[in-house]
Amino acid sequence: MSKEHSMDIVSKINVQTLRDIIQTTKRTVTNRFDLKDKANQVDYNEKDEKLELTGVSNISINSIVEIFKATCIKQNQSIKAFDFGDILPAAGATVKMSAKIKQGLDSDTIRKINEMVKESEIKVKTTNQKDQIRVVSKSIDDLQLVIRLIQSSEKLDLAIQFDNLK
């Protein structure tokens, strides 16, 4: 009787972790002397999965982004999960920047991952499931090889996680 092992390759962000990161960023921004102005804000729109950064100048927006990125790193959240836009003028003397949260694997990324796995000739089967990939193998060691292969890849510009390793 051969037992099969499986795992899911996904790209998602934990909402609670994101809220913690945003809350820590807000606290840091309000405590920093050079960013104490009320116009410097970080807002999260859960419906649109967007971050809205508001500041009094380009320098303050860039500082807020750097604080946000540093907080992500401290919380073990990949910065690749966020797509930061351009700095745009807003109401009054403020500027805005929006950051889209990238969740789920698109068809192009799924194709790249499947090609990488096939080229590596590791004995696994992959199946596409909407916005994730299920990888099945008889050996758990082969699944770990796939994990290392994907983590070491330079082709992917996405935060990849591995779930349900059984």
**With respect to CATH, is domain 15-101 assigned 3.30.70.990?**
yes
pLDDT at residue 87 above 90? no
Partnered with residue 96 across adjacent β-strands are: 54, 88
- Domain positions in the chain: 5-12+105-163, 15-101
**Under the phi-then-psi rule, with left for phi > 0, alpha for psi from -120 to 50, and beta for the rest, what region is 3?**
beta
The pLDDT confidence band at residue 161, using thresholds 50, 70 and 90, is: confident
Task: Give me the pLDDT at residue 2, please.
Answer: 58
Task: Give me the pLDDT at residue 69, please.
Answer: 92
- Residue-wise pLDDT for 94-133, tens only, equals 889 999 988 888 888 888 888 888 888 888 888 888 888 8
Task: Give me the pLDDT at residue 20, please.
Answer: 92
The pLDDT confidence band at residue 1, using thresholds 50, 70 and 90, is: very low
For the chain, the maximum distance between any two Cα atoms, rounded to a whole number of angstroms, is 70
Q: Are 90 and 54 in contact (CB under 8 A)?
A: yes
Best CA proximity match to 61, nearest among 82, 90, 81? 90
pLDDT at residue 78 above 90? no
**With respect to CATH, is domain 5-12+105-163 assigned 1.10.260.40?**
no
**Alpha helices (runs of H) in 2-154, residue ranges in sequence order:** 15-31, 58-74, 107-120, 140-151
Q: Are 45 and 105 in contact (CB under 8 A)?
A: no
Number of alpha carbons in the 13 Å side-chain half-sphere of residue 35: 24
Q: Are 151 and 120 in contact (CB under 8 A)?
A: no
User: Fold match between 5-12+105-163 and 15-101?
Assistant: yes
pLDDT at residue 44 above 60? yes
Place of tokens 């003397």: 93
